[in-house]
Chain A
Amino acid sequence: MSFLSVDNVTVRYGRLTALRHASFKMVAGETLFVTGPNGAGKSTLLKAIAGVVVPVEGQIRLAGTVISGAVPEDIARRGFSMVPEGRHVFGTLTIEENLRLGAGMRADKEAVAADLAGCYEVFPMLRERRDAPAAVLSGGQQQMLVIARALMAGPQLIAIDEPSLGLAPKIIDQVYDVLLRLRDERGLTLLIVEQSSTRALLTGGRMLLMRSGEIVMEGDARDLLRGDALKQAYFG
């Protein structure tokens, strides 16, 4: 049984078709990379799953329930956590308030406290400045905060748009360590948009290749990256 299934989904912004008949499936606990050039529809695909844009056609199911057409807060409450591109920290809220907001829909207070402690352990910098407004953080630190905040929601599926963008290589390693550990320990499903393919090579997993709003290729990340498929997607 697939955990996430995207079936024939089309999204339009006015007359522009940003996503055309996209279909793919994910099983629980797997890692899927989405890659492709700018404007390929990668971010639109994530936004459609998150309920931020509504598909004009097609259906999206999460754990068997149809979520296309639902509002973002309901999709989030079904265990989908989204990190959109462009570091959306709440700048006037403190770092801890940002994290607590992420955990807002969870009733298990003790688990939240444990996750918060765990989160501070992985990112000690966040603990040091937890009472500071998030706006004072540097770009890379903000990226860390939004990923930590998305994890505080205790999701079953996390979608991250460009996690590596603007982060130092060492920090990227840290972020991926956390994600992969949660995948292995809790069965967290990872849906990651990355323009750089090195991470997919290191991590492994499946990969979708997108171009001009369409999914043009799907397969094992390492196989795809070794062949000419990627080059073709960008230039062909």
Chain B
Amino acid sequence: MTAILQIVFDALSLGSIYALGALGIALIFGVMRLVNFAHGDYISFCVFAMLVPSTDAMSEMFLGSLPTVVLVPVILLIGAGVSVLSEIVVFRRLRDANPATMMIASFALGFILKHFLLMLFSSRPKSINLWPDLSLPVEILGARLPLLQLIAIGITIIILVALSAFLKQTRFGLEMRAAAENFTMARMLGVKANRVILIAFAISGMLAASIGLLLAAQTGTADIQMGVSVMLVAFIATVIGGLGSLAGAVVAGYLIGAASVLMQVILPLEARPFRDAFVYAAVIACLIWRPQGLFAPKSAKQRV
């Protein structure tokens, strides 16, 4: 029983990270049909923003030494800022371009961010000491779980509820949903394209920042590659969920998280190093079964 509970919580907390990542990608894809491969690098950028630039293995906290109540909003703002800047500097100019052109541009932007971090911090992973108290275990129904895992799950739920309230209840949310469905028609009704896209980028950047905070606290390391691996899984989740469907992205994020954790448990010991191969095999099977994704919105189908 406790073992099962442990698996459930592992799956939920890993799935939370993937779900937040997938949501950030799906939001941008929804309003401008761009798969933003720089999204993963926003995550790393936010993590490294907490450290003093240096090439030493031991890191010194920079923004990370701020009290939590200040640190969290500051990192969220940094995530929103870098995301909004990339829209203004890069993507806005390519808005009418071919989707492939935009995708390549997002790769290029990702490389630039990554190499900017490499320049300041070198490629060596660093230890980062964020909220050490939270890694203490707590006991729930006999299972011993790191407090951080529960917090990660809780925070993700809060973010999902807040975001869905924003989309359902506010004027901006209404405009964003309309724009995701039919951008041109929304503009003909007076919806300001630039404003909707900027808000989407800001939210997406804040989602990247939250992942950065959660990952840094969970792993205790700052690694320039850390965002990229999340980005890859998150992108796959958006495809499985049905590109353009926000709910689909979240559900698929949790599904992949659950699949990874389950494989870790049920695979024979010798096969465990190849866990990801099994996860991706399941992904391929899923896409053969439903090529349009689990929750493909009608609007995405019409447009192609």
Contact = CB atoms under 8 A, between A and B. Distances in A.
Contact of A101 (B186, B297, B298): B186
Contacts of A150: 189
Interface string B271-304: 0000000000000000000000000011100000
Interface in B153-184: 171, 174-175, 177-178, 181-182, 184
B177 A104 contact: no
B46 to A, nearest CB: 31
A111 interface: no
Interface stretch (A10-18, A92-100, A184-192): A92-100
A52 B298 contact: no
A91 B298 contact: yes
A217 interface: no
Summarize B's interface: helix, strand, loop or mixed: helix
B117 to A, nearest CB: 36
A73 B187 contact: yes
B268 interface: no
Interface residues of B, number: 20
A234 B190 CA distance: 36
B297 A92 contact: yes
Given A50-B188, A73-B193, A153-B190, A100 B174 contact: yes
B192 interface: yes
Contact of B181 (A84, A93, A102): A93
A161 to B, nearest CB: 12
Contacts of A92: 177, 181, 297, 299
Contact of A93 (B174, B193, B297, B298): B174
Interface of A: 50, 52, 71-73, 76-77, 81-82, 84, 88, 90-93, 97, 100-102, 104-105, 135, 149-150, 153
Interface of B: 171, 174-175, 177-178, 181-182, 184-193, 297-299
